[in-house]
Amino acid sequence: MSFQNPVFIPGPTNMPEALRRACDMPTLDHRSSLFADILQPARAGVQEIIRSDSAEIFIFPASGTGGWETAITNTLNPGDKVVAARNGMFSHRWIDMCQRHGLTVEVIDVTWGEGLPADRYGEILAADKAHEIKAVLATHNETATGVLSDIAALRKAMDAAGHPALLFVDGVSSIGSMPFEFDSWGVDVAVTGSQKGFMLPAGLAITAFSDKAKKAVETAGLPRCFFDVRDMAKTYANNGYPYTPAVGLLNGLKLSCEMLLSEGLDNVFARHARIADGVRAAVSAWGMELCAASPDLYSNSVSAIRTPDGFDSTKIVTHASEVYGVAFGVGLGDVAGKVFRIGHLGLLTDVMALSGIATAEMCMVDLGLPVTLGSGVAAAQEVYRSTAGAMALAA
Ligand code: PLP
């Protein structure tokens, strides 16, 4: 007999059985009309989930990192200047990718745990009278620190500076879990992956391009081949693909979009907020703090929890895995050893969340941290009891 606990990493997430089955499908000919019935509804579903009427959706057999590369190589030229804030490991990696592609990155270094500073972006853009900066990079939800940033405020700062740079937003751990407004935020390229809000295995880089971004594609000089959206656009027009598609994953994506949209996006977001509230109540009952510096930055998809100074937080993750067979996320980069992360996105119920909170408590007590067994569970139970029924109604 093998037993399987839910995972509490911030992606890949737990998967609904229906999505697992949708991915595990018999082979079909991707050059036949059967493929169109998978590809086009999946693209239309993504467009609706990011709340756009006009974005063109390009989906690659890759992961979120491939989405980053798609954004920059399809729109920029060698040596172009971009501006990006670094407030965690993922924003750092995107910056690193830009530098490796020969772009000049104006980095705004931010204390990890803080959000993206719209005002600093605005100042830099306002000072760039020659409009040398071609793109603004923003990590909507920094998965390493559990920090959600305000993209509407960033757009406002760009507009106030009267700057024409493109806006690229990493929505890898926000899209499908928290509101994402492609059109009203004036996003030019959005990037996500299949393994977070869409509750699928990793394997799809999902990107969305605005009309303005598509114009930039025509003049972009960075080398690209596998991630060339021009090849995608050409083949999509004939319901095809430039190479062999990951048909099962695309079939999963089609169903995932149907599931999220039939639940209703507002309900999906409210469900994530409720589950996250319970986790946060547990964290304060433990007398601990989140890495996110203030409540307006709290992410509803992941909480990064600071452990006491001198304690190696990685021990909690290792212990949970080895002793209880449960997965939490380790701290990454600057916060390695200082935080552990509870992922609370995708397929998760109150009861599943309570089991994760209970496991974290057992680990912390086993490892000698001053936490009382049951304290976090009780605090989360109060949150879930007071909103009981919301889950059943949404089902
Ligand atoms: N961006 C964010 C915010 C992420 O959380 C991740 C992965 O966790 C990535 C980008 C990279 O995505 P992938 O690991 O799918 O390449």
pLDDT in tens, 62-96: 999 999 999 999 999 999 999 999 999 999 999 99
What is the bridge-based pairing of β-strands 289-290 and 302-306?
Answer: antiparallel
Per-residue pLDDT at 227 exceeds 90: yes
Atom of ligand 1 nearest to the CA of 65: 16
Q: Is residue 200 part of a domain?
A: yes
SS3 221: coil
pLDDT of residue 183: 98
Residue whose Cα lies nearest atom 12 of ligand 1: it is: 64
> What is the pLDDT averaged over residues 158-169?
98
Alpha-carbon distances, residue 61 vs 226, 249, 282, 317, 351 (angstroms): 10, 9, 38, 30, 34
Amino acid residing at 65: T
- Give ipTM to 2 decimals: 0.99
Question: Bridge partners of 192?
Answer: 206
Residue 330, phi then psi, degrees to nearest 5: -80, 165
How far is residue 88's CA from residue 85's CA, in Å, rounded to a whole number?
9
130 domain-assigned? yes
Give the separation between CA 278 and CA 380, rounded to whole angstroms: 4
Strand partners for 304: 341
Q: Which of 72, 143, 147 to mutate to test the pocket of ligand 1 (most atoms within 8 A of CB)?
A: 143
Residues with Cβ within 6 A of ligand 1? 11, 63-65, 90, 139, 141, 143, 170, 172-173, 193, 202
Number of H helices, E strands in the chain: 14, 14
DSSP letter assigned to residue 186: T
Instruction: Report strand pairing: 133-139 vs 81-86.
Output: parallel
- What is the chain's mean pLDDT, rounded? 97
**Can you give the pLDDT at residue 393?**
46
Q: What is the pLDDT of residues 311-331, one digit of tens each?
A: 999 999 999 999 999 999 999
Tell me if residue 265 falls in helix, strand or coil: helix
**Most informative mutation of 13, 172, 198, 335 for ligand 1 (most atoms within 8 A of CB):** 172
pLDDT at 392: 55
* pLDDT value, residue 391: 59
Tens digit of pLDDT for each residue in 113-138? 999 999 999 999 999 999 999 999 99
The rounded percent of the chain whose pLDDT value lies above 70 is 98
Measured in angstroms, how far is the CA atom of residue 99 from the centroid of ligand 1? Answer: 18
Name 36's Cβ contacts closer than 8 Å, sequence gap at least 6: 239
Residue 390 and residue 352 share a domain: yes
Determine, yes or no, domain membership for 1.
no
pLDDT tens column, 354-394: 999 999 999 999 999 999 999 999 999 999 999 886 655 44
Contacts (Cβ under 8 Å, ≥6 apart) of 310: none
Q: What is the pLDDT of residue 1?
A: 74
Same domain? For 379 and 332 the reply is yes
Q: Average the pLDDT over 28-57 and give the result.
A: 97
238 falls within a domain? yes
One-letter amino acid of 391: M
Last residue of a domain, one of 246, 262, 278: 262
Q: How far apart are CA 223 and CA 237, in angstroms?
A: 23
Phi, psi of 147 (to 5 degrees): -115, 125
Residues 280 and 325 in one domain: yes
Nearest to 83 by CA among 2, 27, 139: 139
- CA–CA separation, 345 and 93 (whole Å): 22
pLDDT at 395 over 80: no
Are 304 and 145 in contact, with CB atoms under 8 Å apart? yes
Residue 294 has pLDDT above 50, yes or no: yes
Q: Measured in angstroms, how far is the CA atom of residue 278 from the centroid of ligand 1?
A: 25
In a domain, 2, yes or no: no
pTM for the structure as a whole: 0.97
User: How many angstroms does the Cα of residue 379 sit away from the middle of ligand 1?
Assistant: 31
Strands (E), 149-246: 166-170, 189-193, 205-209
* Count of domains forming the chain: 2
73 vs 284: CA distance, rounded Å: 43
- CATH number of 271's domain: 3.90.1150.10
Atom of ligand 1 nearest to the CA of 142: 3
- Shared domain for 283 and 257, answered yes or no, is no
Which of 262, 294, 325 corresponds to the end of one domain? Answer: 262
| Domain span at 213 | 17-262
Say if CB 47 and CB 175 are below 8 A apart. Answer: no
**Amino acid identity, residue 219?**
T
Q: At which of 237, 262, 287 does a domain end?
A: 262
Q: Could you tell me if 81 and 94 lie in one domain?
A: yes
Find residue 336's DSSP bridge partners: none
**2 has pLDDT over 90:** no
Outline where 161-246 has alpha helix (H): 211-219, 229-236
Residue 187 in this model has a pLDDT that exceeds 70: yes
- Asked, for residue 228, whether it belongs to a domain, the answer is yes
Q: Ligand 1: which of 68, 90, 249 to mutate, most ligand atoms within 8 Å of CB?
A: 90
Helix H or strand E segment including 305: strand 302-306
DSSP β-ladder status, 141-142 and 166-170 = unpaired
- In whole angstroms, what is the distance from residue 10 CA to residue 304 CA? 10
For the CA of 205, the nearest atom of ligand 1:
15
Q: What is the CATH number of the domain that holds 41?
A: 3.40.640.10
Distance CA 133, CA 363 (A): 48
349 shares a domain with 279:
yes
Q: Work out the average pLDDT over 27-50.
A: 97
Q: What is the pLDDT of residues 188-202, one digit of tens each?
A: 999 999 999 999 999
